[in-house]
Amino acid sequence: MDAITFTVLSVLMVASAIRVVLNRSPVYSALSLVMLMSLLAVYFLYLDAHMVGVLQIIVYAGAVMVLFLFVIMLLNLQDSIQDYRQEKLWTMGILCATLFGELWFFFGRAGGESSAQHAVPEGFGTVISLSQKLFTDYLLPFEITSLLLLVAVVGAVVLAKR
């Protein structure tokens, strides 16, 4: 990924992330989040993660966000100024600044002497290489994930049915 692509993508992503947090209407927040996830999928493609980028579009920007929009429309919420906390803003600011400072400090050191990028093997990030690893080294976590999804489906149906 070159510098221009990185700059364009990161500026757009940070702008849409800020819109997610600060927008008064939950629908606009959700749409900004869809935009952020699509941009992130493009970012993944540039980082040689083809399969993950496609999954990002299908699972996140498609399925999860449609679920969010459905629930927002089902609840029919009104926009309200009450939605933002007015108190304890200083505590919030200090907490977030500390978190950001820590992350920035440790991540900034990652670009040290050993920061040369390793060569990627052929087929890196494609469906074949990902699934080959998924069905050999990560078989048990994969099966546990299927169980988790089953439990989630049953739980969601039971909760929403009443």
Partner 1 sequence: MADGKGRMAYGSDDTPESERSERAISHQANDESLGNGIMVPIHYHLMLSAVLFTIGALGVLLRRNTIVIFMSVELMLNAVNLSFVALARQWGSMDGQLIVFFVMAVAAAEAAVGLAIILMVFRNRETVNADELNLMRW
Per-residue contact track with partner 1, 125 to 154, x per CB under 8 A? xxxxxx-xxx---x--x---x--xx-xxx-
Binding mask 44-83 for partner 1 (x = CB under 8 A): xxxxxx-xx--xx--xx--xx--xx--xx-xx-x----xx
* Member of 17, 35, 54, 57 binding partner 1 (CB under 8 A): 17
99 is a site residue for partner 1 (CB under 8 A): yes
Cβ 3 to partner 1 shortest distance, Å: 6
| Dist. CA 32–CA 20, nearest whole Å | 6
Q: How far apart are CA 12 and CA 5, in angstroms?
A: 11
Tell me if residue 136 falls in helix, strand or coil: coil
Q: Rule CB under 8 A: say whether 108 interacts with partner 1.
A: yes
The CA-to-CA distance between both ends of the chain, in Å, stands at 50
Which pair of tokens denotes residue 87? 């108190």
CA dist 121 → 125, 126, 153 (Å) = 9, 11, 37
Q: Is 111 in the site for partner 1 (CB under 8 A)?
A: yes
